[in-house]
C-alpha cells in the first residue's frame, strides 16, 4: 500500500454514465488512503455530476484540447504524486505526465504513450463479462486500493431538492401519485438501445389502469422532447414533459421525488441508480446489465434483451423486449413503493 499523505489526480473526460462509474473509485481511494488529497478533472458538460461528493477535495474541468497547453508554464510542476487517467486521449496522458510523478492508465494505442506511464494496466480479454465499475477500479488497484463497495454515488443539494419539489407542485396535476419517471431515449449514437415509443405508451396505459391518479414525468434532454410530446398526446395530462426543460442537476433532483424510474440504458439511468431510486432498467444485448447495471441497488429490476450474445449486434431491435416482460417488474415495485418524503 502506498503512503496515505498523497496528492492524487483523477482525470475522467467521459459521458454521464462513465463519469458516475468512477465514483466508487473516488470513495475507495479516500477510504483506503484517508490522508490523501484528491483532485478530480472532468468534462465541462459532465463535471456537475461530481459536485458535492465528499471524497473530492478539488473539482475542475479539462478537455483534450485544453490539456495540450495545461501545465506547461506553471512555476510548480509535478504537484501530484499519482495521476489516474481514464480513456485514450493522448493530450490527457501528456498533461498527467507533466504534473504527476507517476501516471496510471489503461494500455494506450501508441507505445510512446505507454512509456510515459508508471503503470500500464491491460484491460482483461473478458471485458464484456467484467462489470464496468470493476474495470474502473483496476487503475486504483495500482495504488493498493481495492473495495467491494461498487455503489454509484451522487449528492443532490438541499436547494436543488427544494426547487424540484416546487417545480413539481407547479407543473404536476394536484394530488397526482404515484410519480413515475420515463427515460425514453439514449443518446443519438446509441439509438439502437431505445425501446419503441409505442411500448412506452402501452406501459403507460397499463400503469394508469391500475393507478389512475399516476403522473408520468418524461425525463431527458432535447433528444427526448419529441417523444415526450408524443406520449403526452397519447396519454393526456397524465404526462408531464420535463425533457429538454431541466439541466442535469435539476433532473436529478426531480428523480429523487419518483416512486419509480423506468428507462433505457443511458446516463440518466446510471444517475437514477446512484440516487437509489426504485427502477426498472432495460438493457440491449450489446450492453448487458452484468456490465452496466447499478451495482448493489436493492430496488433495481433488470429487463434483459432475450437475444443471446452470439446472435447480437447493433441491428438487433429493442422491440424484442415486450411490454409483458417489463410490466410485472413495474407493477411489483409500484405495489411496494414507499411514499416520497416531501419535507
pLDDT given for residue 196 in this prediction: 97
pLDDT given for residue 205 in this prediction: 98
Tell whether 108 and 25 lie within a shared domain: yes
Find the mean pLDDT for residues 293-299.
94
Whole-model pTM? 0.93
pLDDT in tens, 75-99: 456 799 999 999 999 999 999 999 9
Tell whether 169 and 288 lie within a shared domain: yes
Q: What CA–CA distance (Å, rounded) separates 133 from 140? A: 11
Burial track 304-330 (b if 16+ CB lie within 10 A, e otherwise): bbebeeeebeeebebeebebeebbebb
pLDDT in tens, 123-135: 888 778 899 999 9
Q: Using 50, 70 and 90 to split pLDDT, how confident is the model at 73?
A: low
Q: Is residue 81 part of a domain?
A: yes
Find the mean pLDDT for residues 324-328.
98
Residue 342 has pLDDT above 60, yes or no: no
Tell whether 217 and 115 lie within a shared domain: no
CA angle 290/319/16 to nearest 5° reads 45
Q: What CA–CA distance (Å, rounded) separates 336 from 147? A: 31
Q: What CA–CA distance (Å, rounded) separates 122 from 117? A: 12
Whether 272 contacts 263, CB under 8 Å: yes
pLDDT in tens, 210-268: 999 999 999 999 989 999 999 999 999 999 999 999 999 999 999 999 999 999 999 99
- Say how many C-beta atoms besides its own lie within 10 A of residue 250's C-beta: 16
pLDDT in tens, 6-30: 999 999 999 999 999 999 999 999 9
C-alpha cell at 63: 478537455
CATH code of the domain containing 114: 3.40.50.2000
pLDDT given for residue 189 in this prediction: 85
Q: Using 50, 70 and 90 to split pLDDT, how confident is the model at 112?
A: very high
Q: Which domain holds residue 129?
A: 7-141
Residue 1 has pLDDT above 80, yes or no: no
Q: What CA–CA distance (Å, rounded) separates 223 from 214? A: 24
Quote the percentage of the chain above a pLDDT of 70.
95
Proportion of the chain in helix, strand, coil states, percent, rounded to 5:
40, 15, 40
Residue 314 has pLDDT above 70, yes or no: yes
pLDDT given for residue 125 in this prediction: 82
Q: What CA–CA distance (Å, rounded) separates 24 from 18? A: 11
How buried is 189 (Cβ within 10 angstroms: 0-12 exposed, 13-18 middle, 19+ buried)?
exposed
| CA distances, 141 to each of 119, 175, 296, 318 (Å) | 10, 50, 20, 36
CA 97 to chain CA centroid, nearest Å: 28
pLDDT given for residue 75 in this prediction: 47
Helical segments of the chain, H only: 16-20, 23-32, 64-67, 90-99, 111-114, 132-141, 158-171, 197-210, 222-235, 248-255, 267-275, 289-292, 323-335
Find the mean pLDDT for residues 49-78.
85
Tell whether 177 and 293 lie within a shared domain: yes
Tell whether 229 and 269 lie within a shared domain: yes
Q: What CA–CA distance (Å, rounded) separates 142 from 150? A: 18
Tell whether 64 and 126 lie within a shared domain: yes
pLDDT given for residue 76 in this prediction: 53
Tell whether 224 and 323 lie within a shared domain: yes
Residue 187 has pLDDT above 90, yes or no: no
Tell whether 189 and 307 lie within a shared domain: yes
Tell whether 12 and 137 lie within a shared domain: yes
Instruction: Give the domain-ending residue among 141, 168, 190.
Output: 141
| CA distances, 291 to each of 14, 110, 196, 252, 306 (Å) | 17, 27, 23, 23, 16
Instruction: Give the domain-ending residue among 112, 141, 170.
Output: 141
pLDDT given for residue 343 in this prediction: 40
Tell whether 127 and 178 lie within a shared domain: no
pLDDT given for residue 128 in this prediction: 80
Q: Is residue 21 part of a domain?
A: yes
Whether 6 contacts 37, CB under 8 Å: yes
Phi, psi of 113 (to 5 degrees): -70, -40
Q: Which of 164, 185, 133, 182 is nearest to 20 (CA)?
A: 133
pLDDT in tens, 196-221: 999 999 999 999 999 999 999 999 99
Among the listed ranges 73-87, 242-256, 267-281, 322-336, which one has the minimum average pLDDT value?
Answer: 73-87
- 313: region left, alpha or beta (phi > 0 left; psi from -120 to 50 alpha): beta
- Say how many C-beta atoms besides its own lie within 10 A of residue 5's C-beta: 11
Q: Is residue 1 part of a domain?
A: no
Q: What CA–CA distance (Å, rounded) separates 231 from 1? A: 54
Tell whether 207 and 90 lie within a shared domain: no
Average model confidence (pLDDT) across the chain = 94
How many structural domains compose the chain? 2
Amino acid at each position: 500500500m502506498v503512503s496515505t499523505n498523497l496528492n492524487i489526480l483523477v482525470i475522467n473526460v467521459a459521458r454521464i454514465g462513465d463519469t458516475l462509474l468512477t465514483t466508487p473509485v473516488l470513495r475507495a481511494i479516500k477510504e483506503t488512503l484517508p490522508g490523501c488529497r484528491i483532485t478530480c478533472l472532468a468534462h465541462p458538460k459532465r463535471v456537475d455530476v461530481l459536485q458535492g461528493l465528499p471524497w473530492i477535495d478539488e473539482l475542475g474541468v479539462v478537455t483534450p484540447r485544453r490539456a495540450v497547453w495545461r501545465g506547461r508554464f506553471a512555476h510548480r510542476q509535478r504537484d501530484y504524486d499519482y495521476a489516474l487517467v481514464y480513456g485514450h486521449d493522448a493530450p490527457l496522458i501528456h498533461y498527467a505526465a507533466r504534473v504527476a510523478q507517476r501516471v496510471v492508465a489503461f494500455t494506450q494505442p501508441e507505445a510512446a504513450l505507454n512509456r510515459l506511464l508508471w503503470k500500464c494496466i491491460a484491460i482483461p480479454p473478458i471485458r464484456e463479462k467484467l462489470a464496468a465499475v470493476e474495470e474502473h477500479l483496476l487503475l486504483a488497484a495500482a495504488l493498493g486500493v481495492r473495495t467491494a463497495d461498487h455503489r454509484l454515488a451522487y449528492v443532490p443539494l438541499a436547494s436543488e431538492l427544494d426547487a424540484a419539489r416546487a417545480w413539481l407542485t407547479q407543473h404536476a396535476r394536484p394530488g397526482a401519485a404515484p410519480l413515475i419517471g420515463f427515460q425514453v431515449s439514449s443518446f443519438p449514437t446509441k439509438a439502437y438501445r431505445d425501446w419503441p415509443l409505442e411500448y412506452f405508451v402501452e406501459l403507460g396505459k397499463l400503469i394508469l389502469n391500475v393507478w389512475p391518479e399516476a403522473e408520468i414525468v418524461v425525463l431527458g434532454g432535447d433528444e427526448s422532447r419529441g417523444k415526450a410530446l408524443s406520449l403526452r398526446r397519447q396519454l393526456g395530462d397524465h404526462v408531464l414533459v420535463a425533457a429538454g426543460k431541466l439541466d442535469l442537476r435539476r433532473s436529478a433532483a426531480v428523480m429523487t421525488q419518483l416512486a419509480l424510474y423506468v428507462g433505457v440504458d443511458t446516463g440518466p439511468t446510471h444517475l437514477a441508480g446512484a440516487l437509489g431510486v426504485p427502477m426498472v432498467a432495460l438493457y440491449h444485448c450489446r450492453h448487458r446489465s452484468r456490465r452496466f447495471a447499478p451495482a448493489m441497488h436493492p430496488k433495481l429490476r433488470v429487463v434483459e434483451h432475450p437475444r443471446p450474445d452470439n446472435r447480437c449486434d447493433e441491428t438487433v431491435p429493442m422491440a424484442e423486449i415486450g411490454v409483458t416482460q417489463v410490466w410485472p417488474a413495474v407493477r411489483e415495485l409500484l405495489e411496494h413503493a414507499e411514499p416520497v418524503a416531501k419535507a
